[in-house]
Structure 1
C-alpha cells in the first residue's frame, strides 16, 4: 500500500500553470456545399426534447482517502481527480463510488435532494437544489478500503462556482466558436442521467466511464461470443453514446444522442501471471527464458498489460484495489539470476523477496517481469507475485494469433443488421428509453438528406480515361487500367531474392512481362536463393552494386518483414516483398500481378494515373497529412508519428516519413516543426518550390474535439514558425482540418423499408453537424464487408475562409482516389492514408532495432530519429512505403 500511495501522490504533483487555450475562435462556419446528387440517409442520432425550465445543479466532488504511514503520520490521496487510464482509473472510480454510497447514508441533505447522479469522479448533478449553507464535508469511518493502514475517507461537495445552475433553456451556451467558452454542463448532466440505468444494471460493466458492456449477450441474436484459449481472451458486446448540440433541422440547434455498437476483446480478470503464461504454452515451463521463442511470444502478447502486486501468502487472489499497479514492459532473467543493489550490496530478486517479505518463490528459475508503476522506476518482479488487473481491453499489438481478423469478422455486420443490433444493445444496456426522468424525451432516429459528390476524372497515358460509372460493375468506383502508366519508370538493376524457398521458374519473366505491359522499361533481374540468416548480406551486396530494388519472395511462415524493412532503412536500398504462396499463383492471378506492378512503379518514383480535379489541379499547393498508428497517453515506449505530403516531383505524388516522439497526450505538437522542415526541403528540391508553396492544406487524423483549441492556437503557430524558417515573409494561405473516425455517428442509405451502405462520395454537412464549426462527414470508400463508417472533418483554422464547403469536400474526396496502388478510392484522403502507413513502418523499425538510450537508460530521441528514420536517406525522396 505504501508503494501505491507513493505512486498516486506523484501523479498529483502540479505542473507550472499554462496559458489557457480555447479563447481564440476557430475558423468561422461557412455555408454547406450547394452541389451534389441528393440522397436520403437514416442515422443513429435521436433528438432529445428537454422539458423547458428544468433546472440542473452541478456540484464539484472531492473524494479523499487517508492512510497511515510507517512513521505514524497520515498520507492523503484524492481519487476523484486522478488523471489515470485503464485499471487505475477503474480503481479510482470504485473508491469514489464507495465513499459516495456511505455519504448518502450519513448526510440527510443528500438523501432528500431527490434525483442525484454522480459520475464517480469529480461531478455530481441534481434536479433539485441541495440544502447547502456551505460545502458538505462528510467523514466516512467505515472501512471502505481493505488496506490494513486505511484510516478514513472524506467526501466533500460544493456548488460549482462558474456553472452551478443550468436550465434546459440554456442550450445556446453549449456551443461557442471559442471552445473554452462553451458550457458543457447540460449535455454532461444529461449524459449522466441517461447512463443511470446502465450503472445500476448488474449485467453491465462500464469501461472508461462511458462504454457499457453486456456480460451476457445471448439475447443479441446476430453476435456470438468469441473465446480464445490462448490467454483466455473473450469478446464483450456493448454500446456507447454521445450527446451533442447540433445544427438541427431548419438551422434550429438541438441536442441529439447517438448510440453506437461496440465489439471489444478483453483479457480475463484477476488471473495470476504464471497461470496466464501457462495458457499460452499449454502448460507452465518453470525454466522458461525471456530470450526464448516462447518467452518473446508471451512478451508480445502481454506487453503493456497492467498487473497488481499480490504479496499475500494465501493462495486466494487479493483485491487489486489495494495493491500497487504496474505496467508490464517485458521479461528478463530468472529470479535467481536477476540482481540489483540494495543497501550497498548486490542481491538477487529471489533473495530479496525471501529476506524482506519472507516469500520463498515457487518458480525461481522462471523468467521475471520488467514492470513499473506510473511515475516510478523499472522494477524486476517475480511473475508469481503479479495478477492481471480486471476489465482490460486487448490492444492490436497484443493480438498474436488470428484474434484481430476474427474480431473484424464478428463486427462486420451488414447495415440493416448493425442498425437493429445497435438498438437492441442500447435497450439491454439501459439507455434507450423514450423518456428519461420525466423531462428528457428521446425521439426516433433521424432521417437526413445528404449529397453524393461527383467522381474525379482519372486518365492513364495518351489521355486514356478510366471508367468510374460502369453500370455493369459490382462496385462502380473500382476502375480498370485504361492504358499504360501515366509516368512509367525504368527498372534496370534489381534482384529477386528467394528466402528459405526454391527458385520458381517463370516468376521473373511474369513480373518483367507485366511491368513492360504497363509501359515500364525493365531489365531481367538477378536471381538468388538464400537462407533467413543471410538477408543482411543481400543488402550489403545490393548497396555496393547500387541496385534499385530487392524483390523478396518469402514463405508465409517466416516472419522476416520487420527485419527486411529495418535493413532497408539502414542500407537505404528499396525493397518489395510477396509470399512464396502468392508467387506460385502469379501466372493465374492478373489482379495480383497488376497490384504488384502498381506498387513497384510508385516505389520507383512513377505515377500510375492522373486525377483531373479542379480542387487538386493546384500545383503550387502542398497538401499534408499527420497520422499515428499508436495514440499517446497510454501504452509503452515512443510513438511513431507519420507524415506525408505531395512534395515529390508531381503534385499528385505523395512521399513522407516518420518521427519518433515521447508518448504524451499531444503527440503531434512536438514533431510539427521537424516534419515541416523535411517537407519544405524536399519540396524545394523535387518540386522546385524555392519560394515555398502559395497554400498549405493540412490534415490531422484521430484528433478529438477537445484538441481543437490546441490545433487552432498551438499547431498553427508552430506551422507559421516553420514557414518563417524558410523565409521571414513566407505567409502561405493556411487551412488546417481535423479528421476522426472516433465518433458515434452512423449513417445508412435508405433502401425502401431497409437500409444499405452509402455510396462513395456521400457527404453530410448540415443538420447533424456543429452549429458553430464548419464540419462534414464523408464516406469516400466502399465497405467490402459490414457497414461503412464515415470520417468526420472539421475546419479548425483557415487564414482565408471559403465561401462554402464545396472545394474542401471535393478536395478531400478526390484525394481518396490518389492511392495509386489499388484502383479504387480509400477510406481517408491519401496524405492521411500514407502518413498512417509511414507511422506503422516507423513502429516496425523501432520494434526490430529498439530506441537509442543514454547511459541512464533514457531514450535519446534526436539520435533515435537520426539512426532509425529516413530523413537523411535517398529513399526519403521516394514513396518507399508504397
Structure 2
C-alpha cells in the first residue's frame, strides 16, 4: 500500500531544453538530527532523511495533479461517540453465535448500511436532528459536527432486517475534540507523526460524511455505488464506478522550506467488478450449459471443485425466506440424497421433499450439488446473489480480467474530466451545507505542479569491440535490428518438448524461426536441437521421466516447452522439477503464441522478444546503460550493488491452520530478493525464502543469510566486496517505514559485521510503490488530442508541491504509457548513507528502468524491483508445486523449504526472466 504523507494512511494505471546548471536550486535543508537509539540499537523516534534539495536536471513541464487545495478554519470542533453493536438473526435473541461469518470488510459494510438505515428512520429523527453530518466507520467510532441528543446512559438504536439481521447500536456520550488545523500545518510540526495521524483521521472522516452515506460499498478510502446503466462483464459481473478520496498534508510550494504546509484532497476515479444480482444457477452457466445442468445426475470431484471455487464466500438470499446466508461449502450430495430429521413433519426427509412440502417448491434441478451454510443445506436454484459484493481478483478468469482492463483503461483527458465530476459529489463546496458547517471547502481546479523531464539514456549492445554499439532511445524504446545483445551465451545441448496439441509442422517452423532470430542477436545456439519430444502427457510421473532422460542421455541444459493456453498447476510443477531437481532451464511458450506467429505477416518482434528471454535465462545480458552520464559513471560501476526486495503474500482465503504450529497448510508469504552480483551491472542473481503468512517484515535470521549469500557471490564474481549498496524495497506501507529502519536495516549491519569486522558499505534504502492514487495530466490536452500524446513523457519527475513535507520522496515516470493513464512510481528514501542529491537519485532510478532484460524499452519500475517481484512469484509457484508433489499439506515449512533450493547451475543465471 502507498501513503502520501505520514499524517494519513492511504488504503488502496498503467502501467525541452536542458536547464543550465546556473539555475540549480541551491536552497539547503535543515540539518538532519541523529536518531536516538535505545539499548537494543533500535530507534526510539525514527528520523527519516530530510530532502537535501530540489532537483534541477531536465526540461520543465507544467502538469495538473489530481489534488485540490482546501481552505479551512484554524480550529474545528468535532464530537466523538463510542459505538457498541450486537448483531443477531432477524427476530431472534442476540448472541455471539449469531454474528454472521463475514469477512471484516463485509461486516464493516453491513454495519455502515445498518447505521445509515437507522439514522434515516422516523424514531431517530429527533435524536439526530442536530447531527447534520456524521461519519460512522463501521466499527466503534462515530464522529459528528454536533453532539447527539441522548440520555446519560446512552442511546439505543435497532436496525431491522439488514441482510437478514437485526443490529442493536448503543451510542455513548459525546466527547468534544478540537482539531487545531493551524498548528497541524505549521512547518515546526514536522516530526509530530502520531498527533498528525489522529487529527488527520478525524478530518478524513468528517469530510467523507456525504459520500459515505451515498456509497453502497466502502473499502480503504474507495467509495463505490452501482451506476444507472451498469457495465456488464460477461453475465457474471458488473463494473461499478467509484471514487477514491484522501486528505494529504503537502508541501504546496515549489520551494524547499515554505513557512506553512498545505492541506489538499487527493481524488481519483475507480472501477471495480461486483457480482451481478442473479440466480445462482444463472451464475454458473459459464461453466456448465443449461441443458447439462438439467440432464446431469452425477457430479465428479473435479466438477464439485469448480463449483466450490465459484461459490464459496458468496452472500446469497434464499427466495423462500428472504434470509441472507454466506456459502461455506458445496457438498457432493444432491437434494434427493441429503436427508435430515424434520421436527415439523416428524420424519426423516430429503431436502427435495422438504421444499415441496414446506414451501410447495418443486425443484427443477434436484440432482445439483447442494450448498452449505453451517448445518443447513440449500438447493442452488432457490438462492440469489446479494448485490454490492465486490469480486476478489482471484475469482476473475483471464477473459473477465481483460474485459475489466479494457473498460477501465480510459484516456488521461477522460480521467481528468471524470475526477472533476466526482469532486462535486464530496459536498465540500463553499456554499454547500457541509462546507458551511465545517468551514472546510475546496478550490475548483486541480493543483498545478512544475515537473521536469529527464533525458533518456543511451543503450549499450555487443560486449566485444567488433560488435559493440550504442542505441539511441526514442520515446523510451530502442531499435535492436542488426545488433547483438550485450553479452551472449552459447547453448549446445537443448531440447524441444511439446505438452500442447500444437501440430508438429507448426512447432518446427516456430522453433526454426526462433533459432534464426537468436543467432541474429548473437546467441550461439546449436541449430540442431538434441531431442524433440512431441505429444508429452501432462502427468507428473511422465514429466519427471522425460526430464531425467534429457539429463542422462543428452546432457540437456535448456528446454523450450510448449504448453496449452489453460492456466493450471502444470507450469509451476514443471519449473519446480526442472529448477530444483534436474537442473534444466525451461522456457514456456503458450499455444496461442505459436498460432499468433503463424498468422502474423511479420512476427519478427514476437521472435525477438522470445530471444531476449533465451539469452537472459541462459546467463546472458541483453543490454546495459551507456556510460555517457556522470551519474552512470559514478554509480553503475564495479563496487556498487543494487538490490531489490519484495514479499509475495497469499490470498485472503486459506486453509485453517493451528495457531501454535507453523505448517504448510496455511500458504506462507515468500521473500524474493535479487542483487546484481553477476558478470555485469544488469546481471542479477536471486534468493527466495518462506516466512509466516502475510508477514511483510522480513525474518531477521533468513534475511541475514540472504544478504551474506549475495555479498559472497558479488565478491566471487567481481573480486571485491561492494562499497555501496542501494536497496529498492517494494510492498511497504507508510506505517511500516519504521519497521524497515528499526529491523531490516539493522539486519544489513549485522550481516556486514559478520562477514568482516570492519566492513561497512554505505547503504541507501528506497521504498518504491505504484499502489497510490496520484495522477498527473498535461495542461494542454483536450478530447481532440491524439491518445498517444495525452500521457506524460517517460522521464517525468515531480519533487515539489504535492510531495510530503515529512519525507524525502519523489514521483518518477519510467515508461511510455500505451494504455490508459500513466501512473508514476512513488519513491521514498528512508536511509541514505550515500548522501545522494535529488538529481543523482532520480537519474539513477530512471536509468535502472532501462536495464530490465525482457524488452527493448524502459519500464515503469527499476529493474531490481521487477526482478524481485518475479522471484517472489516464482517462489510461490515452487512452494505450491512442492506441496503437490508431497501430497500432504501437514508438513513443516522447513521440510518444504529444503525442496525449494535452486540448483547451482540454474542459480547462476536470470532463469526467472
TM range (shorter): 0.7 to 0.9
What is the TM-score of this pair, normalised by structure 2? 0.78
2:247 is matched with 243
Tell me which residue corresponds to 2:396: 399
SS of the aligned residue for 2:446 comes to strand
Correspondence 1:277 to 2:287:
no
Deviation at 1:814, TM superposition (A): 0.9
Q: State the number of aligned residues.
A: 809
> CA separation in 2, counterparts of 1:599 and 1:771?
42
CA drift of 1:540 comes to 1.9
Larger mean Cα displacement after TM superposition, 352-361 or 738-747: 352-361
- Cα RMSD (Å): 4.2
Structure 1 residue 68: Cα displacement: 11
1:599 corresponds to 2:613 = yes
In 2, the alpha carbon distance for the partners of 1:651 and 1:449 equals 33
User: What is the aligned counterpart of 2:742 among 708, 713, 716?
Assistant: 713
Q: For 2:231, what is the secondary structure of its paired residue?
A: coil
Structure 1, 713-722 or 544-553: larger mean CA deviation: 713-722
Question: Aligned partners of 1:291, 1:530: CA distance in 2, in Å?
Answer: 30
Task: Out of 183-192 and 582-591, give the one that drifted further.
Answer: 582-591
CA contact (8 A) 1:640 1:660 kept: yes
Aligned counterpart, 1:525: 529
Give yes or no for contact 1:852–1:863 (8 Å, CA) kept in 2.
no
The verdict on how the C-alpha distance between 1:740 and 1:853 changes in structure 2, with shifts beyond 3 A counting, is same
What's the offset of the Cα at 1:638? Answer: 3.5
Find the residue that maps to 2:66 and give its secondary structure: strand
Instruction: Indicate the residue corresponding to 2:314 in structure 1.
Output: 307
> Would the aligned equivalents of 2:340 and 2:349 in 1 still touch at CA under 8 Å?
no
1:780 aligns with 2:814: yes
What CA distance in whole angstroms lies between the structure 1 residues aligned with 2:561 and 2:233?
36
Give, in angstroms, the shift of residue 555 of structure 1. 5.1
In the alignment, what sits opposite 1:441? Answer: 441
CA–CA separation in structure 1 for the residues paired with 2:867 and 2:348: 55
SS at 1:780's partner residue? coil
170, 175, 180: which one pairs with 1:159? 175
Cα distance in 1 for residues equivalent to 2:492 and 2:532: 17
Equivalent residue of 1:239, what SS?
A: strand
Structure 1 CA distance for aligned equivalents of residues 712 and 850 of structure 2: 26
Residue of structure 1 in register with 2:12 after alignment: none
Deviation at 1:778, TM superposition (A): 0.8
CA contact (8 A) 1:870 1:876 kept: no
The structural deviation recorded for 1:663 is: 3.2
Q: 1:731 aligns with which of 747, 760, 763?
A: 760
Residues 99-498 of structure 1 mapped to structure 2, 5 A cutoff: 105=124, 111-112=129-130, 115-128=133-146, 137-140=154-157, 153-159=169-175, 164-172=177-185, 178=191, 180-201=193-214, 204-208=215-219, 210-216=221-227, 218=229, 225-229=231-235, 232-249=236-253, 250=255, 251=258, 252-269=260-277, 276-278=283-285, 280-283=287-290, 284=293, 287=297, 289=299, 291-292=301-302, 294-302=303-311, 306-308=313-315, 315-320=320-325, 325=326, 333-334=332-333, 360-362=350-352, 366=368, 384=380, 390-427=387-424, 436-438=434-436, 439-443=439-443, 444-461=445-462, 462=465, 464-470=468-474, 475-480=475-480, 483-498=483-498
Listed as ranges, the gaps of 5+ residues in structure 1 are: 1-18, 219-223, 338-347, 373-378
2:548 match: 540
Q: Residue 342 of structure 1 corresponds to which residue in structure 2?
A: none
- Go from structure 1 to structure 2 and tell me whether the alpha carbon gap of 1:140 and 1:788 turns closer, same or farther (over 3 Å shift): closer
Q: Hey, what's the Cα distance between the residues in 1 that align with 2:595 and 2:251?
A: 53
Is contact 1:866–1:872 with CA below 8 Å preserved after alignment? no
In the other structure, the counterpart of 2:642 is: 623
Q: Look up the SS of the partner of 1:402 in the other structure.
A: helix
Q: Hey, what does 1:833 align to over in structure 2?
A: 866
Alignment of 1:795 with 2:829, yes or no, is yes
How far apart, CA to CA, are the structure 1 residues paired with 2:468 and 2:152?
76
Tell me: CA distance 1:318–1:154, structure 2 relative to 1, closer, same or farther (3 Å): same
Write the distance in 1 (CA, Å) between the matches of 2:678 and 2:876: 24
The whole-number CA distance in structure 1 between the counterparts of 2:582 and 2:372 is 33
Cα distance, 1:416 vs. partner? Answer: 1.3
For normalisation by structure 1, the TM-score amounts to 0.81
Q: 2: CA distance between counterparts of 1:66 and 1:501?
A: 57
1:510 shift after superposition = 3.1
Q: Matched residues in 2 for 1:697 and 1:370: separation?
A: 53
| Partner secondary structure for residue 39 of structure 1 | strand
Identify unmatched segments of 5+ residues in structure 2: 1-40, 353-364, 656-666
CA distance in 1, matches of 2:752, 2:347: 60
| Secondary structure of 2:196 counterpart | coil
Deviation at 1:717, TM superposition (A): 3.0
Q: Is residue 681 from structure 1 mapped to residue 685 from structure 2 by the alignment? A: no
The structure 1 residue matched to 2:672, chosen from 642, 654, 662, is 642
- 1:820 aligns with 853
Matched, 1:756 2:746: no
Conservation of the 8 A alpha-carbon contact between 2:82 and 2:140:
yes
After superposition, the Cα gap between the structure-2 partners of 1:392 and 1:628, relative to the gap in structure 1 and judged at 3 Å, is farther
How far apart, in 1, do the equivalents of 2:503 and 2:269 lie?
A: 48
Deviation of the 1:450 alpha carbon: 0.6
